[in-house]
Structure 1
Amino acid sequence: MDTVVQWNIRGLRSNFEELKLLQNRSQSAVVALQECRLGEGQVPPRGYTLLLPQGGSLGGEAALLIRNGTRLSEIDLKTGLHAAAATISLEKTLTVCSLYLTPNSPV
């Protein structure tokens, strides 16, 4: 069974080894990440595609990691929020969104 995992990672670089371990154990189809703090040259773990918010900066706070081979269609949310979204096909078709609201963001 395919799984979807959500993690406020608080820095992809500082938790990269833990992320690889999680993916090796869970074989998750999608990982929704918040507080990514991506750096220059940061690459996704082997076997995954990294989706960032449309028009977002490299240091984006939200991202989706989608296992290679998973059918997906990226969604342009047309919002100022830190959010990445895609429709994916697993056993069923799902829409997955990773959203990060800064502590001072109005809700």
Structure 2
Amino acid sequence: MILYGIPTCDTCRKARKALEAAGQDVTFRDLRADPLAPEDIARFHATFGDKLLNRASTTWRGLDEATRAQPFAELLAAHPTLIKRPIIEGEALTLGWDKAAQATQLPAS
């Protein structure tokens, strides 16, 4: 299982802790230190659509309109903190750590 995120993200830390506590073997991939390849961005965008872009982030609020208008893949490649987190690639591909993602990624008890 791969958890894509950033180490300072509280949601990523909660997800990782819960997954590991449930006995999952989690590989953490830091999106800042190891940015997504264009094919990964395309794959995630195909799965999640525009939900992949975190418009509530401080990074997004700090961008000018010209930068925001860049093609989706270029924008996320240049600013990995704009990616909604965590992306978890396990039995299925999930975005975020809501109840639906938890039900999908955590083993049934």
Calculate the TM-score normalised by the size of structure 1.
Answer: 0.27
User: Which structure: larger Rg?
Assistant: 2
Higher strand proportion: 1
Calculate the TM-score normalised by the size of structure 2.
Answer: 0.27
Higher helix proportion: 2
If asked which structure has higher relative contact order (CA below 8 Å, sep 6+), I would say 2
